[in-house]
A and B are shown apart, each in its own frame.
Chain A
């Protein structure tokens, strides 16, 4: 079984040392209210992150965190205001020629959040897969395309005879699998999944999450998993990036971030994440909501909700700095604790554990299938 690589060890491939996807200072602003308006919405500010080969990176944040904008930037729905996106070492923000654009889209497809709106209701579900094959796999003839369509359906756990069905005949979970099949049809290196399970029932999510892990192992694709749910991010991701109000506030290996959350916002998310098996952890009633970042001043955007905020937080925007190798936090208080070699202060009550204890059980490998021999939904 292939171990996933961390960015520290560099991506595999001809561009040695170069990760699969790298963003540098990725920024996107929107002008609100017309040409002359001075109100600029800062959806994403200075996001620098990497995704390596055979890796699942989760971007976790609530609405308004900028995670959806990140997905849109990476699929080139609009260009960044500032910053660069490097894919396999090549800058892709300003691709113009049809050939280049088609190349990129054939390597980095997107899976949508809403299975009920992501497929055209007048066509059979094979339509998207067939079109993807036609556009991106010109070497295939008709029979070849048919075979490929069956293959990708099988990979996602759907039987080939479902190709002829219409979307309304399928459940939400099945439709979402079709979405992944469409993405696989182009033989991608990186699949962008925008909240792929948020609209599915909880009992169906496991199947899709397992499938995502299996895609990483068996097909060798990387995934960018955008979600607001920390628990599923923990289950399926190798690394987690936490976003708040357009900023990246913490990133690192999934186990490290969740067992030793250093940013107060990560701690808040963790304490609010429901776990029915445990007693509820109390969060402050007045915990507020993520702000809409319009014409922001310098300073940490979480400070209004942060019990540990110090004077510096209002003056200086915290930058990402390591608290451990590979584990970065953008927080003055956390960085100060690291410098002074102090144990970390907690903004919200959360159980810190050592990374080792929670990593002993096997992560989702997708290698086993559930008992009963029943085909997935």
Chain B
């Protein structure tokens, strides 16, 4: 059993606000093997983007990393200096943002930005830079003639693919993506996902893909991690999770999809809204919205329980809860 490429343990991130700290990521652990595609799914505010940025060591105030470790290729990134991190950045891991228009400089051509990225992390001659830039553009299906275009001259889908190309300049081992398809239409989305998967298989990098839309990762990820209110709710193999979701929240998320084919049925979504991270309920965080809540759920916070190769944070799967209940109520 080879060591995982990335191992995150008990990562905790707080937002330090004026009057109280809010815990956006609460002791989250995950691991990613080389070449694996992990989807991280959750509603807005669950902490998934914060988690991604924390792993990439890109947090800035008021977000502060309070605890935990991020072991990447054997090194704990939390303990590295800025210089060491800069050496790893882009070469060993890269980040793709949610909106290309936010991350691409509208005043610079694509070639200029690629050149900036390359020069920041290595020494190459101008010719080498040009060649490499053209190469990665070709990889994502963009005609290298667009090297001299400006971001606004490219369509939305092409901009996102240019972002991915930029991330692949040094063929890193791990690419972190924060909702790269959310601004795209469904056909462009599908094409982009397919492209990402092809590249992943071809170049062998691992992917952590953050999204609020499960369907986007459902066909491409090897494993999926569902987050809720700053914690992991469920982790497991994709197909198995979709066929048989364990956590009531996961089930709710999947049932929220109107189906495009087959019989129509009433959608219920998940009533209520995620909890106020500053005022969390006692016991399980999902309990107020949970259709399967038990009396115990108010008192005890569930741990992650192993079930059949997956892990789920739900008292339904705690052996104890089914046998003699602690503090049994009517």
Contact = CB atoms under 8 A, between A and B. Distances in A.
Q: Touch between A and B in complex, CB under 8 Å? A: yes
A171 B45 CA distance: 10
B215 A203 contact: no
B271 A377 contact: yes
Given A63-B156, A209-B267, A372-B271, A285 B141 contact: yes
A201 B156 contact: no
A276 B259 CA distance: 9
Contact of A275 (B157, B189, B213, B257): B257
B186 A203 contact: no
A374 B288 contact: yes
B322 interface: no
Ranked nearest first, the 4 interchain pairs of A and B with the lowest CB-CB distance are A206-B269, A274-B215, A276-B218, A62-B185
A230 B269 contact: no
Contacts of A358: 261-264
Interface stretch (A5-13, A72-80, A362-370): A362-370
Interface of B: 43-44, 141, 155-158, 185-191, 194-195, 198, 212-216, 218-219, 242, 252-254, 256-273, 288-289, 291
5 contacts: A204-B269, A206-B256, A232-B258, A234-B258, A277-B254
A202 B212 contact: yes
Q: B-side binding surface: helix, strand, loop or mixed? A: loop
A278 B190 CA distance: 15
Given A63-B156, A201-B43, A287 B266 contact: no
Contact of B265 (A351, A353, A357, A361): A361
A231 interface: yes
A274 B261 contact: no
A173 interface: yes
B267 A269 contact: no
B186 A276 contact: no
Contacts of A359: 264
A272 B268 contact: no
Interface in A212-240: 228-232, 234-235
A164 interface: no
Given A374-B272, A374-B289, A269 B264 contact: no
A210 B267 contact: yes
Nearest to A254: B264
Contact of A361 (B256, B263, B288, B291): B263
Contacts of B266: 210, 362, 364-365, 368
Nearest to B155: A289
Given A275-B259, A285-B195, A287-B191, A361 B273 contact: no
A150 B107 CA distance: 50
Interface string A227-264: 01111101100000000000000000000001000000
A325 to B, nearest CB: 22
A285 B271 contact: no
A69 B43 CA distance: 30
A242 to B, nearest CB: 13
Q: Among B43, B155, B185, B288, which residue has the most Cβ atoms of chain A within 10 A?
A: B185
Interface string A77-92: 0000000000000000
Contacts of B254: 276-277
Contacts of A270: 260
Given A235-B264, A276-B254, 17 more contacts: A62-B187, A202-B212, A206-B256, A228-B185, A235-B267, A258-B260, A258-B261, A272-B187, A272-B189, A274-B189, A275-B259, A276-B219, A277-B242, A277-B257, A283-B190, A289-B157, A372-B291
Contacts of A62: 185-188
B141 to A, nearest CB: 7
Contacts of A275: 215, 257, 259-261
A98 to B, nearest CB: 39
Interface in A338-367: 351, 353, 357-365
B219 to A, nearest CB: 4
A273 B260 contact: yes
A160 to B, nearest CB: 18
B256 to A, nearest CB: 4
A274 B43 contact: no
A210 B256 CA distance: 11
Contact of A269 (B186, B191, B219): B186
A234 B260 contact: yes
B185 to A, nearest CB: 4
B190 A272 contact: yes
Given A201-B43, A274-B219, A370-B271, A228 B186 contact: yes
B273 A171 contact: yes
Given A272-B186, A289-B157, A206 B261 contact: no
A116 to B, nearest CB: 11
A365 B264 CA distance: 11
A119 interface: no
Contacts of A376: 271-272
Contacts of A279: 219
A318 interface: no
Q: Among A232, A275, A358, A368, which residue has the most Cβ atoms of chain B within 10 A?
A: A275
B212 A201 contact: yes
Contacts of A128: none
Contacts of A209: 258, 267
B261 A351 contact: yes
A371 interface: yes
A180 B263 CA distance: 29
Contacts of A106: none
Contacts of A278: 261
A172 interface: yes
Contacts of B190: 272, 274, 283
B187 A268 contact: yes
A114 B38 CA distance: 30
